[in-house]
Structure 1
Amino acid sequence: MDFSRDRRLDAILETFQNDFSLSQLIVTVLSEPRYGSHPTVRDLLANTDGIVHAFSLHKSSHSKLLDWASDAVKEECAGEIRELVKVESGWHFSALHAKSEQIENFRIEEMALKIEADAPRLWALLDVLLSARMTKKAQVKSGGDVVMSGGVPEEWESEDSEYWAQVDDLEGIIDGITGNQVSRAAKLDFRRQALITLRKVVIVSILKKSTNQKANSLSGMLGLFLHSTHAPEKVIETMAQIGLSISVDAIHDAIHSLSAQSGRALQCLGQSLLAAYAYDNFDINLKSTVPTAQKSVDTLKHLTSGLLFPLQHGVTLDDLKCSYELWKKSRINPYAESCTAKTWKDLLAIHQESHHPSNLSRRDRFNSWKFLQDLCHHGPAYFAQFKSQIRDPDVIDQIPVVKTPVVAASAMDVNNSTVAGNIQAIEKLMAQGYDLLS
């Protein structure tokens, strides 16, 4: 025992028994700006963890300390929520002015990253609360050092592994991130972390919507998703009450807004004459009636869907003025010019072969590259180590890769399984592009 230190400490404490207390001294030096750079203040701030832990050891102050910490955390998290619901944060969704870009560009991953960056303390708090069984307890050693101890009991870990092993919805995402080269235990951890992140996003979204009804980007997306999956209105309204969806009326407003935008986009693209059209059949089983033995009703409806997408790679209207030339050489044209018919074999001579050090033809080199690519990416795990050694195939006449926007047309009540149905589908699809239906 250091008696000299104890005597000095007793002497210091005696000086605070008069008019000036130790608590007044600490509050004063920490509050006064002129003491901000004083060594004593810097020492107090550097040892905050140890001081707070020392307070917690006294039962009489433990409750007050928890109340203070709780109030501080609540105010800090509430402040972060207030920042998240501002218009400039980008989380507002208006059903009356819904835009297709909001749906196309919506990503849960990006939302999670932005929340973590803008509300780090709230994000960390939710992480602890959603993983409470794995939370380590903080302990303070003598000297004020904070260390972590504790862990997950083996029976809990086994129970968690069994649960997460049954969650297969994230298998594709995890394999895409890890390249399917991680252990089963690592995949279980990825599943756990991915679903915890998803739940944190959902919780924060509910908090935001409760604070500001306009900050409802996630609930707006979920509402449209529920509508697209034909969820009952009672389910949607229940989800809306919880805060996980917008109301049925708001969903209808969003659909009307999106439909109007889609119609304008169709007209703009179709009237440019630089659009490609595609259509296909689909069937819907409309179980609106109950068939009986006396009256059988065919509930299967044959419809046609359509798409428009712009021609890419610098195609112009002049490039499309080739119908006259095609008709001149068409075999069904009785007055066609005589010309030599071409076959697929003529395509093989478009690019002349040149000597290669491997003595392989261009076709053989591509087949070799494809075989190695499949072997290293989809074959036995041993060959995965050679991925980096595979070089890209030789470029001959490369077509640039571009992102082609696609505009969906309205579904058509047409059965295109017949010639007449195909003609009718083309007419109606072209009419949507040229706004001939209005």
Structure 2
Amino acid sequence: MSIVDVTPLKPRPKRGRPAYTPDTRRLRQTVKKLQSSERSPDKRRVNAAQLELERKASELSAAKQQMAVLQAEAKERARVLAAEQAAKEAAERQAKLEAEETRRAQGLVKRVTASEADGGFNFKSLDHFFTAFWRTGSGADQHISRIISKYVNDHGLVHATNMFKRSPQAKDDFISQEMAEIFAREGRAIQALLTRDGMSITDLLKDFSMEKLAADIEASAPHLWAALAVLADPDQSTRREADGETRRNKGLVFTTICALISVLRSQKANNFQLVIGLFLLGSGASKREMEVLAHAGLSVSYTTIINHVKDLSKEGLQKIREVCQTWMVQIVWDNLNIAFKVAAQRLEAKSHFDNGTTSTAILVFDPSTGTLARQGTLPLHVKPPRERTLPVLDWSPEDVLPSPESAAQLSTSCFWQFKRMALEHVPGVSEELKKSLGECPEVNQIPLHQTIQYPLPALKEDESTLEGTFTVYTKNLQTMGMGDTELEKHGLMFDDGDLLTDSLKEKIESARRNSTAPIAGMRASVRRWGLFHGQMAGCRLTINEHWGMPNSLWPGGLWWEHNKLLKRKPLMAGWGGKKATEWKPAHELLHISLPAHIVDGFRIHCRHESLSEWAESATVSEFEVVAKTVFDKLFSTAAINDLRARGEHDITLENAILYNRDALFYVELTQAIKKGDIGRVLNVLAIWMVMMRAPKTMPRYADAIFETLVRIRNFPPKLRELYLANWLVNLTGKLFGFKPVDLLQEHQNFWAKIIYNAKGSNKSWKWLSMITAAFQIPAYGEKHKTPPIHDEVALIAKALQDENIQTYVADRPANDHVNPIRDLIKEGAVYANSRKAFHRFTRDTRKAENRGFDVMEAGATSEGAGQEEAEEEVDGYEPTEDDLRLDDEEFLLEPEEILASAIDMVDSALVDSDPEDE
């Protein structure tokens, strides 16, 4: 084979026709001959003849098929005619037979009423005959009776139907008589079902369920229920539907109808009406509204409601005493301030403002057994006796800073929260990335359980004084049926409250340290301050420190984001404010601002022109790498140290990094509380303890956290376990349903003041004492649905991008005008090692006997005065109604429409007639 390429030597064929060859020419000639033969006359005649033959064959075949069809139809018609004729003849024969049978039957009737002389049976009438025919007993042939009974069982319905066809009036009379007996029997069953018959009101409310009641009524009165179903069957042409479902639940309507029937039969059969009446009272309905519904039969009268509330209050107190004899309980209380306004004031009736206290007893949960802790679990000797006036804490220098383990856990948790918010707010994130997040690593998770609470009667005692606190403590114990003997048998009892309450109880312990009696010496009290107030303090710590300069021309800071970008109602914040920062808008601002900073950080470090395009295609590993980069460069202490180590500072960027880190601490605490991970909560408290020691912040909370963490570390294992596991409560028993104990009591105050309280001249402490012991706050709290924040997050993120807030800018013009934010962790760590901190801690502990502080130390430095002023603002702050409405940690167990109606009724009741305090 040649290796030379001869391809270029071959002739190129002409385009448009094949290459010419002899074989091609011969083939063309053959084709032409064949085509010409087809055009010959003989060939055309042969083809035409073949086509004609094929056509005629096809027509013959179609004719045969049509003939077959006609023959089959004829046969079928003949068969049908034969069958009709046979049926007609059979019907004629049957008619003749039935006529003969009818004649013979009627002849039998004639013989029945004919005399024996005429060959009859000598019955006076046909009714006389049937009366004897259906009679059973002596003289009857048992064999014939069985034949008759079998006939009735097999054909009784047909027999009765044929009878009633002859007389519709007889049918109506029969049905009326029978249904009257049936409905009377079922009415008695419903009456018995809705009569308490010795059942306590507490048990009625505990077990009441509309679904269960509907099922019980349907089982007890099936005929009435079926009749209502027929009556309520709608006309399909006029049926109205909403969202694909019927507008009303028939079962609920039928249950209400049956309840109305029951109360008409007996005024005592009013279980349904009583529950509705108590719901109306608990929803804030006015007396006039209750009376209208009572006249309609839907509720009991107002007077009856009040009487049952009194009984319910007594039952509640009795139940509390029974519970305290078996289980270990803890108690929480808080001040309740109510304004009593009198329209027409007199000497003995003037507008005034009262300070009182509400309390709640809570059963203690034992995480080691997964059940309630029994009384005596923590004997009194577990708590060492108080031997000195000043508190003695067994602490070491390591306790003033978070441990390395705690710091590592906090970093891990904050990084998880950082990724969670990124996956929620970065645009275009795929579902694969969202599913890859997993759960936040647990530190000390409280086992899921449902907290059982028992509200105690409200007291007209001001608990903000030493005497008032001890009075509240002793009266609550009396309400719970606990004297010295019972309390010693019960063992230690956790006492929760705000920071002021905690400090007052500590002073009482100090003053009564020499008393050996359990109550007088407060030997059973294990004090614990509330995490909700600590959460509010941490929120204000972040807001005040990072608020920025109001009305500044330079971008950056929370003031710029809240007032200028979001254009919200101006918020007073900063350490120099005259009033404590409102918690609700501050809480919302942090949860809007921080995600925006995260989104902007991902935009900067994803290395893609479009963040959404990157998010759509990013893999799990790519997302993790970018997230770690953003977290390290914009949300860590190391990042701020690296920036400040440079020769030229970018104050705006440094402030943004410090804010990102501090705000992430607050979000982590909020989420840890909702999840119920008390270990993660302690990790945040440990870092806040350091930050709040910084000058002009919150030294009292720093001392309280320090003391609490040291006490927890020195507790015996069982005391530490129960202390931590019951610092949060969960009324729903569901995931993410935990909340602080003091927030539970704040909700109790909210419902006592807004929902349960009487109106006008009937508002009194007697009423509050009764109503707070009769009702529990609902697990679903107050109506709240958090609106989406995506637009706000996008707005702030765009502004951060436009102003390069989170990007290093050398020689930024704002650096000469913006004040650098303090690194509170660094400031607090340095302050903790100073002599000033030691003297201040000693000074604060000396306040056990005197609430004042040393004049020389207070005047020696302006920083100390600033600390006291800032702390007084926080201590004096009482959560507003808006603050409590913001709490969305509870699961809605009831429809939002019910809650909306309840709130509407409360609003209308404010101007309606007032309930009477009976």
Give the equivalent residue in structure 2 for 1:317. Answer: 377
C-alpha contact 1:273 1:317 (8 A) present in aligned 2:
no
C-alpha contact 1:275 1:308 (8 A) present in aligned 2:
yes
**How far apart are residue 263 of structure 1 and its match?**
2.3
* Alpha-carbon distance in structure 1 between the residues aligned to 2:164 and 2:345: 76
Q: Which amino acid aligns with 2:358?
A: S
Give the equivalent residue in structure 2 for 1:305. Answer: 358
Q: For 1:192, what is the secondary structure of its paired residue? A: coil
Q: For 1:411, what is the secondary structure of its paired residue? A: strand
* Alpha-carbon distance in structure 1 between the residues aligned to 2:212 and 2:448: 25
Q: For 1:85, what is the secondary structure of its paired residue? A: helix
Matching residue within 142, 149, 154 for 1:42: 154
Give the equivalent residue in structure 2 for 1:256. Answer: 310
**Identity score, percent:** 19
* Alpha-carbon distance in structure 2 between the residues aligned to 1:318 and 1:411: 28
Give the equivalent residue in structure 1 for 2:459. Answer: 412
Q: For 1:317, what is the secondary structure of its paired residue? A: coil
**How far apart are residue 223 of structure 1 and its match?**
3.1
Distance 1:103 1:281, change over 3 A: farther
Is residue 2:236 matched to residue 1:152?
A: yes
**What pairs with 1:16-415 in structure 2 (closer than 5 Å)?**
16-20=105-109, 32-38=145-151, 42-43=154-155, 45=157, 51=161, 55=164, 61-86=167-192, 89=193, 91-93=194-196, 98-129=200-231, 131-132=232-233, 134=234, 151-153=235-237, 156-157=238-239, 160-161=240-241, 184-186=243-245, 189=246, 191-193=247-249, 196-229=250-283, 231=285, 233=287, 236=290, 239-269=293-323, 274-282=328-336, 286=340, 288-290=342-344, 298=351, 302-313=355-366, 315=373, 316-318=376-378, 321-324=381-384, 333=391, 336=394, 338=396, 340-341=398-399, 345=403, 348=406, 399-414=446-461
Q: Which amino acid aligns with 1:210?
A: L
Q: Which amino acid aligns with 2:171?
A: L
**How far apart are residue 42 of structure 1 and its match?**
2.0
Distance 1:271 1:76, change over 3 A: closer
Distance 1:216 1:364, change over 3 A: same
Q: For 1:122, what is the secondary structure of its paired residue? A: helix
* Alpha-carbon distance in structure 1 between the residues aligned to 2:402 and 2:308: 50
Distance 1:208 1:391, change over 3 A: farther
C-alpha contact 2:342 2:351 (8 A) present in aligned 1:
no
Q: Which amino acid aligns with 2:253?
A: R
**How far apart are residue 277 of structure 1 and its match?**
0.9
**How far apart are residue 324 of structure 1 and its match?**
2.4
Distance 1:29 1:324, change over 3 A: same
* Alpha-carbon distance in structure 2 between the residues aligned to 1:265 and 1:418: 30
* Alpha-carbon distance in structure 1 between the residues aligned to 2:317 and 2:310: 10
* Alpha-carbon distance in structure 2 between the residues aligned to 1:427 and 1:30: 79
Give the equivalent residue in structure 1 for 2:785. Answer: none
C-alpha contact 1:98 1:254 (8 A) present in aligned 2:
no
**How far apart are residue 422 of structure 1 and its match?**
5.7
TM-score where L is the length of structure 2: 0.33
Gaps of at least 5 residues in structure 1 are 135-150, 166-183, 352-360
Q: For 2:330, what is the secondary structure of its paired residue? A: strand
**How far apart are residue 435 of structure 1 and its match?**
5.7
Distance 1:395 1:114, change over 3 A: farther
* Alpha-carbon distance in structure 2 between the residues aligned to 1:107 and 1:48: 44
**How far apart are residue 4 of structure 1 and its match?**
1.4
Q: For 1:112, what is the secondary structure of its paired residue? A: helix
* Alpha-carbon distance in structure 1 between the residues aligned to 2:135 and 2:297: 43
Q: For 1:208, what is the secondary structure of its paired residue? A: helix
Q: For 2:248, what is the secondary structure of its paired residue? A: helix
Larger radius of gyration between Structure 1 and Structure 2:
2
Distance 1:276 1:283, change over 3 A: same
* Alpha-carbon distance in structure 1 between the residues aligned to 2:200 and 2:182: 32
**How far apart are residue 8 of structure 1 and its match?**
1.5
**How far apart are residue 199 of structure 1 and its match?**
2.2
Give the equivalent residue in structure 2 for 1:8. Answer: 97
Q: For 2:384, what is the secondary structure of its paired residue? A: helix
TM-superposition CA deviations, 1:369-417 (whole Å, max 9, x none): 9999x99xxxx9x98xx99x99999988764434433211001224557
Distance 1:250 1:339, change over 3 A: same
Q: Which amino acid aligns with 1:341?
A: D
The alignment of Structure 1 onto Structure 2 pairs a total of residues equal to 358
Q: Which amino acid aligns with 1:4?
A: R
**How far apart are residue 122 of structure 1 and its match?**
1.1
Gaps of at least 5 residues in structure 2 are 1-87, 113-125, 137-144, 367-371, 484-918
Q: For 2:316, what is the secondary structure of its paired residue? A: helix
Distance 1:396 1:6, change over 3 A: farther
TM-score where L is the length of structure 1: 0.62
C-alpha contact 1:112 1:197 (8 A) present in aligned 2:
yes
Give the equivalent residue in structure 2 for 1:355. Answer: none
* Alpha-carbon distance in structure 2 between the residues aligned to 1:273 and 1:19: 84
* Alpha-carbon distance in structure 1 between the residues aligned to 2:446 and 2:275: 35
C-alpha contact 2:358 2:457 (8 A) present in aligned 1:
yes
TM-superposition CA deviations, 1:334-390 (whole Å, max 9, x none): 574647317555664999xxxxxxxxx899889989999x99xxxx9x98xx99x99
**How far apart are residue 288 of structure 1 and its match?**
4.7
* Alpha-carbon distance in structure 1 between the residues aligned to 2:300 and 2:260: 11
TM-superposition CA deviations, 1:168-205 (whole Å, max 9, x none): xxxxxxxxxxxxxxxx213xx2x422xx3222112211
C-alpha contact 1:30 1:41 (8 A) present in aligned 2:
no
* Alpha-carbon distance in structure 2 between the residues aligned to 1:403 and 1:37: 60
Give the equivalent residue in structure 2 for 1:171. Answer: none
* Alpha-carbon distance in structure 2 between the residues aligned to 1:266 and 1:77: 43
**How far apart are residue 257 of structure 1 and its match?**
2.5
Q: For 2:333, what is the secondary structure of its paired residue? A: strand
| Aligned-pair Cα RMSD in Å | 5.1
Give the equivalent residue in structure 1 for 2:600. Answer: none
Distance 1:76 1:231, change over 3 A: same
* Alpha-carbon distance in structure 1 between the residues aligned to 2:190 and 2:280: 25
**How far apart are residue 14 of structure 1 and its match?**
0.8
* Alpha-carbon distance in structure 2 between the residues aligned to 1:116 and 1:309: 38
* Alpha-carbon distance in structure 2 between the residues aligned to 1:304 and 1:11: 96
